[in-house]
Structures are given as C-alpha cells and as structure tokens.
Chains A and B, each alone.
Chain A
C-alpha cells in the first residue's frame, strides 16, 4: 500500500465551507447542536411525540437549547437549525413526527416549493454545474463581469 501523505486537519475542514448551500456536519457543528439533535432523537418515542404535540413550547423548555434554536424548531426553520449544529438525520425525526415526507422537508430548505422540488427530482435532480464551489462561482462571476466591461 502506498504511503499516504498526512492530511492537514485545518485545510481539510476549511474546504468544507467552500461548498455552496451545504453545512457539513463537522465536530464544531456536532458540539454546538448536541442538544438540538438529542431533542430530535427524543421524537422517536411515542410518549414524547404526544407530549411535544400537546405543548411544543413546554416540551422544548425541558431541554438545554438556546432561545434562538427553540424559535427555529417551532418555525421548522431547518436551514437555521443546520447553522446551529442540527443534523438532518436527527432533524428527520421531527419531520416524521410532523408526518411530512423527507423530500418535502428537504424542499423547505431550498428556494423551491414542494411541487417544484419534486418535479426537479423527476427531471434528474439538481445539477452539480455551478454548485461545486463558492470560490469558483465568485471567480466565474468576476470573470464574466470583466468580459462585459
């Protein structure tokens, strides 16, 4: 087996922030979102789902979650929750408690309606073209602006 060059952890993690519209679930996010995710896990027990549905705010107040995150959970603002360290596999326990299909919940994180999103998937999904790198997109936009000028 060829000797593998050791990877610099800082460079490894920095690259993740260059992907458009994506929050990679790094250790920093996992630590920040620990209780959001553990709360979401609790939705797997029917007793907890019932108590949550009866009084969402009261149930959330039992958890060590910031006010900002509680508000985002009440609004089902999944992009805000990803920023606060939520992970989609955990948050999906809340989609299912709400009785919403996974793909419909995903559509709420995009700029599309659920029917538009579903149609995009039937048409072959979102293209990776122009969606690979924030850096590349900025460079391409700058080059295009220069050509125009």
Chain B
C-alpha cells in the first residue's frame, strides 16, 4: 500500500532558483536562507521518497488567461521546464508517475473534487525551485513528481477549507493505491509577500509564524482563515499559503514537527519552510 510519510512546506521564490543555478546560494545574502534547508537535504537522502505530490501554482508561465483550472493534476510521464522569459532553468526534466496520478485523479473525482487532468504541461519555478531547495543540483531528480497546480492568481481562488479537504481526499486516494510507495506531499508558495501596487513589499513575520504554529497544531483552525485575512495581513501574494493547507490536510489530525525555518527577506518575500510527519 502506498503511504504519505511526510509533508513539506516551502516558499518557491524564483530568485532562489537563480541563486542555485548561478552558484550564489552560499553568499552573504542567500547563505542564511539555504542553511535552513541543509537539514532537509540530509533527511531527504535517508527518506528516499518514491513520489512527491507537489502542490504549487503556475505564475502565468504555462497557463495564460485562456484556461484557469482551480485544481489541476499532472498525469503525464514527463514534464518539461518552462521558459519564463529568460530561457528555461538548467534543471532536469521532471518525471511523473502516471499510474499513481491517474489513480489519485479518479479517486478525487469520485470524492466530489472536480479535477482538471493535464496530460501535457511544462512546469515553472513554483515546482522546480522547491525541488532545488530539497535536492540541490542532481543530474536527475531523485523521485517522481505529481504536479498539482492550484489557481491562486484569479479570484476567487479556492478557500483554505476546500484546500484542506482536498488534502484529506489525497491521503485517502494514496492509501488506496495497491503498490508499496513512499509518498511525500509538498505545499509550496508564500509566505507573506506583495508584488504589486503602492503597498508592495509588505511582510508579516508575526502572522507567518502564527500560521506555522497552526500547521503544527492538532486542531484544524487554520483551514478557516478567510481570503481577506491573508490579503490584509500577508500581502496580495501571501494567498499562496492556502496551498500549504493541502499538504497539511493530507497528514491527518496530529503531526510531529521535524524541522522549521523562517527568514526575511528573499527579494520581496518572507521565506518559510517546515517538515512535518503524520503522528496519528
């Protein structure tokens, strides 16, 4: 039986990808950010996940305004790397797991989640930066990846409550897959940041850390935070944090925190990272 063995939360700021690609990840600016991922890189080497369900959003890279899926699951064998305007990142292509992806897709649809199925897609920094943060620069990514793309750009985006429930349904789907697989789920994006308008540059260390505390808790209060609170407190792009709730919802009631890291700033953004293990 397949099993979700851990959940990882991480920011996916594009500049972190640039830092890795250009070898600046240990300089004075980026060093403290990457130091907070050293623990996780060692841990991942031992954990050796077979598959990561990677929750992220496309930033007008592969999707434009013609199609805006709320929840989309990548079922392809392989995903290419997007050219986001300065050439694709020099990272390996991402290998999918069509058997598990299709199984999850079918199970979610039966569970009332009307998923969009994607059979061809390139992935942007939202997906590749977390891979670089967790695995550095391998010639080939050490696991298969099921991209789960969430619309967090065009409103209304899905509610935190709905994201949490989707996570619960993903857990159920994975656990009904017959093959023995070590599956992790990652929620990415955030934390506080605003990239637009006169209020650009807003960060909220206190709120972000309260959010991390809530993820560690064994109650589910965090799922009920409304969009307007994310927008007021964490900036217009802080809404990406609803994607972390899909990860948290897939871990069950009680979790154990293995690692936690927070750093301000990276470009316009507050960096957050957490590693959780189901403890029910």
User: Which residues of A come within 8 Å of B, CB atoms?
Assistant: 1, 4, 9, 12-13, 15-16, 19-27, 30, 34, 37-38, 40-41, 43-44, 78-79, 82, 87-90, 92-93, 96-97, 101-103, 106-107, 109-111, 117, 120-122, 124-128, 131-133
With a 10 A CB-CB cut-off, give which of A16, A26, A103 has the most chain B CB atoms.
A103
Within the complex, which residue of A16, A21, A87 is in contact with B199, where a contact is CB–CB below 8 Å?
A21
Within the complex, which residue of B153, B201, B236 is in contact with A125, where a contact is CB–CB below 8 Å?
B201
Report the separation of the CA atoms of residues A34 and B60 in the bound assembly, to the nearest whole angstrom. Answer: 12
24 example contacts (A-B, Cβ-Cβ < 8 A) are as follows A16-B155, A21-B199, A23-B196, A25-B153, A41-B60, A44-B84, A93-B84, A97-B85, A103-B267, A107-B200, A109-B198, A109-B200, A110-B198, A110-B201, A120-B201, A121-B203, A121-B265, A122-B265, A125-B201, A125-B264, A125-B270, A126-B199, A128-B207, A128-B233
Give the B interface residue count (CB, 8 A): 42
A128 touches B155 (CB 8 A): no
Interface of B is mostly: loop
Closest A residue to B194 by CB, please name it. Answer: A22
Report the separation of the CA atoms of residues A111 and B233 in the bound assembly, to the nearest whole angstrom. Answer: 20
A79 touches B195 (CB 8 A): no
* Interface 0/1 of B126-158, CB less than 8 Å to A: 000000000000000000000000000111100
A87 touches B85 (CB 8 A): no
Closest A residue to B198 by CB, please name it. Answer: A21
Provided the pairs A24-B236, A34-B65, A79-B198 are in contact, do residues A12 and B265 lie with their beta carbons within 8 angstroms?
no
B202 touches A124 (CB 8 A): no
Within the complex, which residue of B196, B202, B232 is in contact with A126, where a contact is CB–CB below 8 Å?
B202
A24 touches B231 (CB 8 A): yes
* Interface 0/1 of B35-66, CB less than 8 Å to A: 00000000000000000000000011100110
- In the complex, chain A residues whose CB is within 8 Å of the CB of B270: 125
* Interface 0/1 of B179-214, CB less than 8 Å to A: 000000000000010111111111111010000000
Closest A residue to B157 by CB, please name it. Answer: A25
Q: B83 an interface residue at 8 Å Cβ cutoff?
A: yes
Provided the pairs A37-B60, A37-B64 are in contact, do residues A23 and B233 lie with their beta carbons within 8 angstroms?
no
- In the complex, chain B residues whose CB is within 8 Å of the CB of A127: 202
- In the complex, chain A residues whose CB is within 8 Å of the CB of B85: 43-44, 92-93, 96-97
